Amino acid sequence: VEKTKEEKTVALKKKDCQPAVFIPVDRLPEIQEARLKLPVLAEEQVIMEAVKENDCVVLCGETGSGKTTQVPQFLYEAGYASAGGIIGVTEPRRVAAVSMSHRVANEMNLSTGVVSYQIRYEGNVTKDTKIKFMTDGVLLKEVQKDFLLHKYSVIIIDEAHERSVYTDILIGLLSRIVALRNKKGLPMKLLIMSATLRVEDFTENKRLFCTPPPVIKVEARQFPVTVHFNKHTPLEDYTAEAFRKTCKIHRMLPPGGILVFLTGQAEVHSVCRRLRKAFPYRPNNMEHTETEDTSEELKKIKKQKQKKSVSLPRIDLDNYSALPVDDRDEDRQAGIDDDDDDECSDLDLGDQPEDTEEKADPSIPLYVLPLYSLLAPEQQAKVFRPPPPGARLCVVATNVAETSLTIPGIKYVVDCGRVKKRFYDRVTGVSTFKVTWTSQASANQRAGRAGRTEAGHCYRLYSSAVFSDFSQFSEAEITRRPVDDLVLQMKDLNIQKVVNFPFPTPPCSEALVSAEQLLISLGALEEPPRQGRMVDMKRASLSCPITPLGRAMAAFPVAPRYAKMLALGRQQGCMPYIITIVAAMTVREIFEELDRPASNEEESSKLAGRKARFSQMRRLWAGQGQSLLLGDLMVMLGAVGACEFVGCTPKFCEENGLRYKAMLEIRRLRGQLTNAVNAVCSDAGVCVDSKMPPPTESQVACLRQIVLAGLGDHLARRVQAEELLDSKWRNGYKTPLLDEPVFIHPSSALHKELPEFVVYQEIFETTKMYMRGMCAVQPDWIPKLLPQYCHFSGPEQNPASWYCTLSGNVKCQQKSTFFRVGWKLPAIEM
Ligand code: ADP
Ligand code: MG
């Protein structure tokens, strides 16, 4: 109560020294009351003065302190949206952009036409918009159209601690834009907001800001959170563990919301389903019915309750390195008297909070809600509303709930300790999502969610020893991925010398050089002067300007190799197929894994049977003639086509060796890419129809050329009999990257064909090195589509022969007349 009074005084004082312009906001009394409790309100004056005095200000405050919802309102009230310019707020996540715009409109009692949002391909911005929430990607695109961002008077970069690539680039760009605007007498302000205090990369970086911007710290009221570690760390099935732990909390601990952190949408749904089954929630009939498997569980819990409890140390949430070292020993100690067969042996709910006089009532319903970024906005909004009377709220979320959204009333956090991260393969340029351990900083953020309204508890589904092995902070995304797409985006912004760009954390220069080389070879950047008739790729300077093809490619949300395929896809009605191929290649493994070792003979014969059937299916999908030459990509196309023809059912996938999840993902990606294509070329008119007829022969020939144009640097040539150096090269292929032979995998559609030239998506290694995602190419396409990799012995317009430097300098004598092509493909040749 005292603190609230104090804050009220601050609010009153503020009124005495209001800024010259003051735009009144008519808030509802209950909203006003809730606002006054937010720590950021106490700093309003300090923040607004700093903004007035400085071009750039950094604001740090614990999640939930009110940064995202309140700071735009401060600026609005101070008149920053009334002199022609508007207030722009960027978020790395769509879910935050949408839900925060609704929340702020609601708090200010204004319509969504005034407080609006814009995410890729969707938004409600009007000409009256004053506060605009958007994803960082959207603002980056706007910078491409209007470098000085004339329509904004302030830009707030929110969630800067996440260090998303686009946020990092925006900060680099805005440091220049703000300076330029102010020099031109068009004042503009920049506010960088972070949930952690680790902001030196922004403030101490002389290339970014000559004078370090002031850092304002908002002291949030954080209640103590007791952290409980598991004794064991389940390596595989942590979702089952999360489910068990949540059940136990609900049954044994006093009221208070539960927030469960998992890594992805599928996991969230599976745990929600299990929880709803275990605690059926009936809005009309609050009675609770115990299902069979849960009463079994209850017995176990009762047994467990008698076990010795382990008390674990509290952590200091403001100091990420404050984990007591001796707690590792305690962890080991505790592990000694475990009975291993008991799956509940790590239960540490015996360490009850002090206020447990009031006994938990197991008949209380559990109100289970999912939360992840792609969830529909109206579903997302549910987590902010109070649960139905008498029910306990349980939100099962991905890391969107870590800092972007603050869910009220959470007292218990269950943390799986993992995060789904994007990984790039530097050699192949293929990106995948993998689940890995999170960082200590994120784990502490997650724990902190339990202490917003009162003292809370965080249950970590891993041991403290595992925790101490976590990296301290999540590293900036930019340092752990190739940057070809970024370099392309920046060139599209006409930033010629990417090496000189003021990145908050610069990527390594080799990554920049290889990105530039790839983009030149894809035709997205202009070639540096040629040496003779060959481009000297090694010496390609880092300042090549973008080409028209590059601009088209920059508009697609995929890696440049795939973007090139999409940019070329408008010929012969190939676009729906190219979209599908790109989607399927991005998802990577669409077939069920059958090479796993069988545990017994029965299983092994079953596996063999399935294998035989699936290889039959693959042959069917690969087809004959032209379509067979599209190889593995034709199999992908055939699989998706067949699956969608029957409506993409789990049954069809199971019977035909397809991964159901992958097929759903492909469907989603196809929709997204179709929208992107239609947005880029308004006349493309590609339909969002999951069903499609098989491609014709000439379309397949066209598809093969498009794939060659995109994957050109992944060209492989079969070593001919007369060139055999050594028996290990039998049926082997030479690739530009390796000295060793690579092979066609027996499961590939091209295994029997052994075409002379192929392109591949990537190389993988098992017993030998194999190519994955192959497509056969016709030799005479190579000088046409990949002239940058070819030597010509005659004049370019009419060479007598050529050889391609990509396939290990193997000379391909091939008489052919051709012309140099731009990015439009030549007429299809059969
Ligand atoms: P920060 O950005 O500092 O993490 P926010 O401004 O997001 O903090 O949140 C401030 C408060 O507003 C939190 O207590 C949060 O629960 C509340 N809040 C945010 N969005 C909503 C909403 N849609 N409905 C109800 N409360 C909300
Ligand atoms: Mg926020």
Identify the pLDDT of residue 565: 93
Residue 787 has pLDDT above 80, yes or no: no
Tell me which H or E stretch contains 141. Answer: helix 136-145
Q: What is the distance in A from the centroid of ligand 2 to the CA of 68?
A: 4
Look at 10-24, 187-201, 233-247, 300-314 and tell me which has the smallest mean pLDDT.
300-314
Stretch among 36-40, 148-152, 612-616 having the lowest mean pLDDT: 612-616
**Got the DSSP string for 783-828?**
HHH-GGGEEESS-TTS-S-EEESTTTT-------------SSPPPP
Query: What's residue 587's pLDDT?
Result: 80
Identify the bridge partners of residue 410 per DSSP, sorted by sequence position.
257
Pick the ligand that lies closest to the CA of residue 92.
2
Q: Which residue's alpha carbon is nearest to atom 17 within ligand 1?
A: 406
* Predicted pLDDT of residue 288: 35
- Cα–Cα distances in angstroms (integers) from residue 257 to residues 278, 573, 645, 738, in the given order: 17, 53, 44, 55
| Pick from 319, 320, 324: nearest CA to 440 | 320
Cβ partners under 8 Å of residue 807, min gap 6:
715, 716, 717, 734, 735, 736, 757
Angle value at C-alpha 75, between 71 and 79, nearest 5 degrees:
165
Spatial separation of the C-alpha atoms in residues 91 and 400, rounded to whole Å: 11
Distance in Å, CA 454 to ligand 2 centroid: 20
Mean pLDDT over the full length of the chain: 79
Instruction: Decide: 759 and 766 in contact? Cβ < 8 Å.
Output: no
Closest listed residue to residue 586, CA positions, set 506, 498, 485: 485
- Which residue's CA is the closest to the ligand 1 atom numbered 18? 406
- Residues lining ligand 1, Cβ inside 6 A: 38, 61, 63-70, 99, 103, 384, 406, 408
Helix ranges, 262-312 (H): 265-278, 292-305
Q: What is the pLDDT of residue 464?
A: 93
Question: Which residue's CA is the nearest one to ligand 1's atom 6?
Answer: 66
Contact 151, 115 (CB under 8 A): no
Rounded Cα distance, 185 and 179, in Å: 10
Tell me, what's the pLDDT at 806?
Answer: 61
Nearest ligand to the C-alpha atom of residue 445: 1
Which of the residue ranges 438-452, 507-521, 629-643 would you say has the lowest mean pLDDT?
Answer: 507-521
Least-confidence region, from 107-121, 254-268, 764-778: 764-778
Phi, psi of 648 (to 5 degrees): 50, 65
Q: Which residue has the tokens 């006409």?
A: 494
Q: Enter the tokens of residue 241.
A: 């563990």
Name the β-bridge partners of 228: 459
Dist. CA 402 → ligand 2 center (Å)? 10
Q: Kindly tell me if the per-residue pLDDT of 500 is higher than 70.
A: yes
pTM of the model: 0.68
How far, in Å, is the centroid of ligand 1 from the Cα of 64?
6
Distance CA 581, CA 775 (A): 12
Contact present, 101 and 133 (Cβ < 8 Å): yes
Please determine, for residue 379, whether its predicted confidence score (pLDDT) is greater than 80.
yes
Strand 122-123: give its sheet, edge to edge: 122-123, 115-119, 131-135, 86-91, 152-157, 189-194, 56-61, 215-218
Rounded to whole angstroms, how far apart are CA atoms 409 and 265?
23
Indicate the top mutation candidate among 59, 73, 90, 103 to test ligand 1's pocket, ranked by most ligand atoms within 8 A of CB: 103
Residue type, 732: G
pLDDT of residue 295: 43
In DSSP terms, which residues pair with 215 in a beta bridge?
A: 58
Does 495 or 629 have the greater pLDDT score? Answer: 629
Q: Which ligand is nearest to the CA of 93?
A: 2
Would you say the ipTM is above 0.95? yes
Cα–Cα dist 68/77, whole Å? 15
Q: Which of 173, 164, 174 is nearest to 135 (CA)?
A: 164
CB under 8 A, 24+ apart: contacts of 595-602: 595/766
- Ligand 2 centroid–CA 326 distance in Å is 34
- Alpha-carbon dihedral of residues 212, 218, 224, 227, nearest 10 degrees? -40
314-370 pLDDT tens trace: 222 222 222 222 222 222 222 222 222 222 223 334 333 333 334 445 578 999 999
Residue nearest atom 19 of ligand 1, based on CA coordinates: 406
* Whole-number Å distance between alpha carbons of 305 and 351: 10
Closest CA to 582 of 493, 671, 456: 671
* Side chain identity, residue 536: D
Alpha carbon of 827 to those of 73, 584, 706, 778, 824: distances in Å? 58, 26, 12, 14, 9
Specify whether the CB–CB gap between 174 and 152 falls below 8 A. no
